[in-house]
Amino acid sequence: MARLVIMGAGVAGHTAASFASDWLGKEHEVVVVTPNSQWNWIPSNIWVGVGEMSKDEVVFPLAPVYEKAGVDYRQAKAVSVHPEGKADSDAPYITIEYTGQDKEGQSEELTYDYLINATGPKLNFGATPGLDAGHTVSVCTADHAVHANVELENLIEKMKKGEKQKILIGTGHGMCTCQGAAFEYIFNVEHKLKEEGVRDMAEITFITNESFLGDFGMGGLHFKVGGFVTSSKVFAESLYAERGMNWIIGAHVNKVEAGKVTYELLDGSAGEAEFDFSMLIPPFAGVGFTAFDKAGEDITSKLFAPNGFMKVDAKYDAGAYENWKASDWPRTLQNPDYKNIFAAGIAFAPPHIISKPMSSPNGTPINPTPPRTGMPSAMMGKAVAASICDMIKGKTNEPTHTASMSEMGAACVASAGKGLFNGTAAAMTVYPIIPDFEKYPGTGRDLNGTTGEIGLAAHWVKHILHHAFIWKAKLKPGWTLIPE
C-alpha cells in the first residue's frame, strides 16, 4: 500500500485529493494535511465583501467530504519536509502540527511515498509596513470578506448622511499578484454604491503595481471582442473611465497609515493617497517550510526558492527578460532532486514573472508577480494526481501527465457587479496563459482562443459556475463531469 500525502486543501490540493482518492480506491492511502477545517471558494469572496453573499454560501466543512471520499484528513499545519528520511530510516516524512481535531498543539511525523505541495501562499501582509495594522480590509479569505462588508456598510451609512468618502482599492505592494481580485472588488463596490443611491458621494481610485491597466500579471493581452481585436489596456481603461473611477498605475505602496498610503511610482517619484475605506491585496510568499536531509542538515534552499515556493521542473536560470521563453515554465511539476515530490497551484516556484520586469530609478521592483490561481491550479492538481496514481500503480516511473501554463488555456469570468438583471461580468479566455512569441509572433497568444465579452450573460455564467464548483468540491453526484 502506497501513501500519497497532500499538503493543502485549496483548489489545487482539493482537486488532487479528490481525483487521487477516486482513482486509487481503498488499495492505497490519500492523506490531506491542512490547517483549515473549511473549504472556501475564494472567487466568490468578492461578493461576500459587498454583502451579496453570506460566508456560509462560499465555505463548507472538509471533514464530511473527505470521510465520504475515504481520504485521511488531518487538520494540521505542515512544518518541515524530510525527503531523505532520517538516520535510522529511509522513509521520507513531513512534520505536522495539529490545529484541530482534538489534537491541537500536538506534533507528528507523517511518512509518505509521494508528496504534493499544494499549500497555496502565505498572505504576506507584513511586507508593507502598516498593511497588517487594520487600516485596510481584505477579501483574501471568507472571514476577511465578511469584515470588509461590515466596514463598507458603515461607509455607506456615512454617505447616506451626506458625508463624501474616498475609496482606495488595489494592490498593497510593488510585487503583488491577484490584480484580478482587486479589479473585481472595485467594480462590485462601485456597483453597490449605485444600488444604494450614494455613488455621487464617493471618489473611487484604483491603485496598482501594473505598468498599465489590464496587465493582470500576464503582460496584458490582445483578444477578440465582438469580432474585433483590442488590447486589455484599452478594455480596462474604458471600463474604469465609463464608471468615473480614477487610477494610479506603476505604484509600490510602501506604507499604510490610518486613512493614508504612501507609494513610489515607476518614475521614482513619491505620492500619497488618502482614503476613508481601502481594500489592498497583500503580496504572496511561500508558507515557510524548512527542509532537512538524512543527516539533519538544512536543505531548504535546495527544495525551495528564496520566495518560499517549491522548485519544480522549470528553467530557473533563464537569465534576462530577452531570453525568456514559454518553454521555461514547468510541465510535470515534479521536483528535480526528489522524484516523489510535486508542487501544484500557487505552491510551485515560477521560473520568472510573466509581465516585463520593471523597477524605479531607486531600484524598487514594481511589477506584478504571476497569477496561478483558479482554473490553472485545478488543472495542475489533477495532472499531478494522475501522474502519481500511474506511478503508484506501477504503470511508469516518470510523470505521465503535464500541466504547463505555457501549454494550457484558461477561462476567467470577472464580476463587475452582482444582480439578476443588472449584474455584469467580463468573460475572458486566454490561450496560452504564458505568451509564446515563438509560436504566436506579435501577440504571443492564439487570437482564436483569446476572447473577451462583458455583459449580463457573463454575470449569469459566473453565478452558475459558483454553484457548479461548490457542487464539484463537495464531490456530489456527477462531480467528475464538471471541468476544472
Look at residue 129 in the predicted model and tell me its pLDDT: 98
Domain membership flag for residue 280: no
Say what percent of the chain tops pLDDT 90. Answer: 94
Distances (CA, A) of 181 to 79, 202, 275, 282, 418: 29, 21, 19, 11, 15
Is the CB of residue 141 less than 8 Å from the CB of residue 31?
no
Residue in this structure with the C-alpha cell 472588488, named with its chain if needed: 185
Mean per-residue pLDDT, 213-241: 92
At 100, the pLDDT band (50, 70, 90 cuts) reads: confident
**pLDDT at residue 102 tops 90:** no
pLDDT over 80 at 226, yes or no? no
pLDDT for the residue numbered 327: 97
- Helix/strand/coil percent split, the chain, to 5: 30, 25, 45
Tell whether 84 is covered by a domain. yes
Strand duo 122-123 + 410-415: pairing: unpaired
Average pLDDT of span 269-295 = 97
The number of domains in the chain is: 1
The 10s digit of each residue's pLDDT in 6-40 is 999 999 999 999 999 999 999 999 999 999 999 99
435 in a domain, yes or no? no
Residues 378-383 have a mean pLDDT of: 97
Bond before 306 cis per omega within 30 degrees: no
Residue 374 has a pLDDT of 87
pLDDT at 188 over 80: yes
pLDDT at 348: 97
On whether residue 177 sits in a domain, the answer given is no
Contact by Cβ (8 Å): 263, 153? no
In single-letter form, the type of residue at position 396 comes to: T
Q: In this structure, is residue 300 part of a structural domain? A: yes
Tell whether the model's pLDDT for residue 459 goes beyond 90.
yes
Do 35 and 84 meet the contact criterion of CB atoms below 8 Å apart?
Answer: no
Q: How far apart are CA 215 and CA 466, in angstroms?
A: 25
8 A C-beta contact, residue 351 and residue 328? yes
Return the pLDDT at 252. Answer: 98
CA 4, CA 210: separation in Å to the nearest integer?
39
Place 269 in a pLDDT band, splitting at 50, 70 and 90: very high
pLDDT band at 228 (very low <50, low <70, confident <90, very high): confident
The Cα diameter of the chain in Å comes to 72
**Tell me, what DSSP letter sits at residue 43?**
G
Return d(Cα 449, Cα 447) in angstroms, integer: 5
Q: Which of 64-68, 102-106, 313-317 has the lowest mean pLDDT?
A: 102-106
Task: Confirm whether 231 is domain-assigned.
Answer: no
- What mean pLDDT is predicted for residues 235-262? 97
**Is 199 within a domain?**
no
SS3 state of residue 325: coil
CA 95 to chain centre: 25
The owner of cell 470578506 is 145
Q: How confident is the model at residue 254 (pLDDT cuts 50, 70, 90)?
A: very high
Question: By residue range, what is the domain housing residue 90?
Answer: 3-122+285-392
| DSSP code of residue 298 | B
Say how far apart CA 184 and CA 46 lie, in whole Å. 7
How many CB atoms lie under 10 A from the CB of residue 174?
27
**Residue 223: pLDDT band by 50, 70, 90 thresholds?**
confident
Q: What secondary structure letter does DSSP report for 75?
A: E
Of 429, 447, 406, 433, which is closest to residue 219 (Cα–Cα)?
433
Q: In what order do the strands lie in the sheet with 251-257?
A: 251-257, 260-265, 270-274
Once rounded to an integer, what is the mean pLDDT over residues 210-239? 92
pLDDT(225) > 90: no
Give how far Cα 398 sits from Cα of 283, 312, 313, 315, Å: 34, 14, 13, 19
pTM of the shown model? 0.96
Domain presence at residue 194: no
Nearest to 330 by CA among 300, 306, 351: 351
CATH number at residue 363: 3.50.50.100
Q: What is the pLDDT of residues 325-354, one digit of tens each?
A: 999 999 999 999 999 999 999 999 999 999
In sequence order, the β-bridge partners of residue 481 are: none
